Structures are given as C-alpha cells and as structure tokens.
Amino acid sequence: MPYRITITNTDESYTCAGEDNLLKAMEQLCRKGIPVGCRNGGCGVCKVRVLQGDCVMNKMSRAAVSEEEQRQGHALACRVQPRSDMQVEVVGRMARAVESRRSASFSFDFRSEGRMKQSDKEN
C-alpha cells in the first residue's frame, strides 16, 4: 500500500510503498526534498525527524543517529519504511541546503506576445 510522505521543510509530498524506504521512493519519483548520500545508513546525509506517522526504522550507523536521537524520532531516510502516511523534517548538516532551495523559487513566463515576424523566423 502506498503512503503519502510529506517533507515539511519544502512542503513537498510523494508516495512510498511500505516495502521501500523513504529515500528510494523519493529518488524513483525524481524528487529532491531529502539530501542523498551513501544510501546505506552510514553517512547521515539523509537524516530526518519523523514528526507524524508510523514506520520501521532499520539498522543505521550510531555515528549518524545516536540512540537518544532515535528515541526523539530522528532516523536516516534510507533506513525508514513507512507504515502510514508520514510527515518528516530534514535535519542535520544538510537541512539548510534543503531550506535554501525552497526559498529560491524561480518563475518563468513563456507567453509570446504577438506574431513572429518573417525576419525572426530566419534567425
């Protein structure tokens, strides 16, 4: 069953099947809300805090997430499998990069005014 995962830093949402981890599902959908590192639970780049929802937290490096942090809901997205809809917050050393990406929004306007002139078609 797919669950809705919301990244509160960016307000981005995506779906994740219960057998996938949060990071893998995000990457498969070409999303970029959670930073990506080693994908094996060792580097700590994809560190998140679970704000809402149920999940399974698989084995991860204690250098990246201490036992105390895990009790407070911190985990590595590459080691978390959802069991319900979830809200997570990117934390740790990459949180600023995610939040700065959110504030740097770009808007493009591709509307064309009028008809193209013959001389424009030749260029």
pLDDT in tens, 31-74: 889 999 999 999 999 999 999 999 999 999 999 999 999 999 99
Domains and CATH numbers, the chain: 2-96 (3.10.20.30)
CA distance 78 to 60: 9
The verdict on pTM exceeding 0.75 is yes
Phi, psi of 71, rounded to the nearest 5 degrees: -65, -25
